[in-house]
Amino acid sequence: MAYRPQKPPLPETSEQLRARIPGWGVDLDPAGRPSVPQEVFDPGAYGARWEFPERQPELHPRERSIEHAFLTPVFSTACPPKGLSGVVRRYAYRRFSEGRAAHWLLLVAADRIDTLESTAASYASKRPDNPFTETGVRAEFSHHGIRSRVGRGRADVKHTWMDPLVVAGPWVAAGTGIAVGASAALRRLNRAR
């Protein structure tokens, strides 16, 4: 079991694994490891005084990898899954192993959905996001944005051309969508009269 100081027993013996998997156990002999003799298994020397760490109470369900029997002893509660992005995240953890691309692609998609949800929520609040001041666009003109990039050998200059698209693109798309939706709604209202 994970999180215990002792190494768990292998489901197969070393000889069985070596016979089945070519190259398995090449570092099994301590004499062949570069870290020997520095490598010493002594959990007490590193401050591990427990047999099993005290577990943080799970007040709200958190997503958990299917590779683990249970949630890690300590976990973050800063950003609990919420909304549609939370549904996608829970599905990714519940259905796919961390070794599958589908797991990570779903998490990336959940991040994009979360961005859209947060942007929509900000417009519904009393203080909506201000892309002009919060994305650093103003600093490009007031703090030598172009001069700090040109002729300095910076590696990030290669993607500078796409930065405005990445930063402003979602805002332009959202504004266009809102304008098109509002225009369609006004046309329907005028036809109904």
Tens of pLDDT, residue by residue over 18-74, are 899 988 888 888 777 777 777 777 777 777 777 888 889 988 888 888 988 888 889
Instruction: Please tell me the predicted confidence (pLDDT) of residue 26.
Output: 85
DSSP 8-class letter at 46: G
- Say if 164 falls within a structural domain: no
Q: Tell me which residue range forms the domain holding 102.
A: 61-70+79-151
Helices 101-124 & 83-95, crossing angle to 10 degrees? 170
Residue 95 lies in a domain: yes
176 within domain boundaries:
no
In a domain, residue 175? The reply is: no
Is 189 within the bounds of a domain? Answer: no
Question: Residues 170, 176, 178, CA angle at the centre, nearest 5°?
Answer: 100
Residue 20 lies in a domain: no
Per-residue pLDDT tens over the stretch 92-138: 999 999 999 999 999 999 999 998 898 889 888 998 888 778 877 78
Residue type, 59: L
Q: How far is CA 179 from the centre of its chain?
A: 32
CB 44 within 8 A of CB 51: no
Overall number of domains in the chain? 1
